[in-house]
Chain A
Amino acid sequence: GAGVSQSPSNKVTEKGKDVELRCDPISGHTALYWYRQSLGQGLEFLIYFQGNSAPDKSGLPSDRFSAERTGGSVSTLTIQRTQQEDSAVYLCASSLNYNTEAFFGQGTRLTVV
């Protein structure tokens, strides 16, 4: 596609529910990143994919968070048993390879009530 696409754009969920966030990277981009941004804050790194493998999962805040990538393309970030502190904008970025220009999607705004 023309850019990185994320869905849904907004998600409101009840505390304790599971949510799945989707990222469609730019076609041909092998590197994919997930970040989290709380209101008025910077970007917190969550996970990095090179192809389908995740060499760096160091940013996942707890075992309630997981992510996968299939076919070297679409990635999903899953948050189980959501908590109010999970409320944030979740951003996805892709690049041709790591250490090259990374382009971001518009993000998914997650609100846990």
Chain B
Amino acid sequence: GESVGLHLPTLSVQEGDNSIINCAYSNSASDYFIWYKQESGKGPQFIIDIRSNMDKRQGQRVTVLLNKTVKHLSLQIAATQPGDSAVYFCAENSASDYKLSFGAGTTVTVRA
């Protein structure tokens, strides 16, 4: 069946460095992807999205890359800050499936 998952459960990053969080998906029909950030005790917060007709999309300090050939999604955070410490989830959706399917999440810890 289809699944969305993240390659690494934890990531430790030095403050000021760039972070890269990876996500693999298996549903070739997936055409819409979202990255969420979840801080302790809060609901997931929308960060950035990308559709399958794009390879890259940039936001403020964040970039999402989509490689449809290998079904891989990544989130890059530039100049990581302590406030970036959180769990990051990727989610995918397809036109034939209503629900957003989530991966297990990657915990990012920023070292001062």
Nearest chain B CB to A105 CB, angstrom units: 5
Interface residues of B in 34-51 (CB under 8 A from A): 34, 36, 42-46, 49
A56 and B99 contacting across the interface, CB-CB below 8 Å: yes
Count how many chain A residues have C-beta atoms less than 8 Å from C-beta atoms of the other chain: 26
Which residue on A lies nearest to B51, using beta carbons?
A: A99
B105 and A42 contacting across the interface, CB-CB below 8 Å: yes
A48 and B99 contacting across the interface, CB-CB below 8 Å: yes
A50 and B104 contacting across the interface, CB-CB below 8 Å: no
The tally of CB-CB contacts under 8 A between chains A and B is: 58
Flag whether B25 is at the interface (Cβ < 8 A).
no
B100 and A33 contacting across the interface, CB-CB below 8 Å: yes
Known: A99-B32, A101-B49, A102-B34. Is A107-B43 also a contact (CB below 8 A)?
yes
Which residues on A are within 8 Å of B, measured CB to CB? 4, 31, 33, 35, 41-43, 45, 48, 50, 55-56, 58-59, 91, 93, 98-107
